[in-house]
Structure 1
């Protein structure tokens, strides 16, 4: 009976884990991030991104919004160039919940069996490139389940969420 009471919590955890974004970052430890004040998008790199133009615009709009919120100004002569890259893959999660009450061979009681979830996991890379040196200064990587339901509003929200959680890690907190 305790297991039946815990089932809603387990399902909630599974749903929550699918909706979260796992974020990692990497950066050049010798870079003074306080010197960067302006940005522009790296058109040559962004043109190579293999996603729909609609999704590309959604991502760029979300990145621009986060950069402006961080105090950056968009410029024709930027300190930072912003580039993006994406990739996706199909994922399958299997949750085995073989709960049997009673005794063998009839297995008296409920059998919840196996729960299989299929979804698309996407990864978004946001690169901040020092425009003067033409070197990568910071990279944020976010991975998580994508919204493939066809609901455009939910897709836009998911993209904003991805970008916001990645950019939350900029500038890096350099530990001395």
Structure 2
């Protein structure tokens, strides 16, 4: 019973962990911002990728919920930019093998670790830049990742959830 209580407590604590990390300039008065536009240099190439379109839709929806007005870049208080940062990590696939022999308190053993493969994932980072000062005033980064094995619907749903959680922390100090 004690083990079940500890496991439930550990699960509750990990469930409270945030999936996004935000940072902002504490000297910024966020109440002064009422309009926004996507920064023209938001993409490196002239093309919009499928994930870029999903991010744009999600950001636009969340800023509409904040009652912020979308305007042209030259009229905007804030410019929004984002990028999907590629990160590599190692992932264990399968199980390790081992065997041993011995008698009593003495013996010998040999084992091999499970096979490992390198996985590339994408972390979403969204930035808000004050158009007049050209300084980042707020940014959010996801702790959840996009990977190449996800279906288009899964990717859209993940982007929607992450962007929604990011903007639940904007403006800072109200939550």
TM-score for both structures, normalised by structure 1:
0.69
Report matched runs for 1:12-23 at 5 Å.
Answer: 22-23=19-20
| Residue of structure 2 aligned with 1:34, choices 15, 18, 31 | 31
Query: Normalized per residue, which structure has more helix?
Result: 1
Does residue 24 (structure 1) correspond to residue 39 (structure 2)? The answer is: no
Deviations 1:86-115 (A, max 9, x none): 2112322449988x9xxx638xxxxxx858
Superposition deviation, residue 145 in structure 1: 2.7
Whole-Å Cα distance in 1 between the matches of residues 116 and 18 of structure 2?
Answer: 21
* Secondary structure in 2 matching 1:47: coil
1:173 paired residue number: 173
1:89 paired residue number: 87
1:149 paired residue number: 149
| The structure with more radius of gyration | 2
* Secondary structure in 2 matching 1:78: coil
Q: Using a 3 Å threshold, how does the CA distance of structure 1 residues 41 and 169 change in structure 2: closer, same or farther? A: same
CA RMSD of aligned residues (A): 3.7
2:64 paired residue number: 68
Query: 8 Å contact 1:88–1:123 — kept in the other structure?
Result: yes
Superposition deviation, residue 121 in structure 1: 2.9
Can you give the 5+ residue segments of structure 2 that lack an aligned partner in the other structure?
Answer: 103-112
1:109 paired residue number: none
Query: 8 Å contact 1:89–1:121 — kept in the other structure?
Result: yes
Query: Normalized per residue, which structure has more strand?
Result: 2
1:110 paired residue number: none
Whole-Å Cα distance in 2 between the matches of residues 122 and 21 of structure 1?
Answer: 18
Moved over 4 A (4+): 49-52, 94-98, 113-119
TM-score for both structures, normalised by structure 2:
0.69
Q: Number of residue pairs matched? A: 152
* Secondary structure in 2 matching 1:160: helix
Query: 8 Å contact 1:21–1:144 — kept in the other structure?
Result: no
Query: 8 Å contact 1:21–1:142 — kept in the other structure?
Result: no
Q: Using a 3 Å threshold, how does the CA distance of structure 1 residues 72 and 49 change in structure 2: closer, same or farther? A: farther
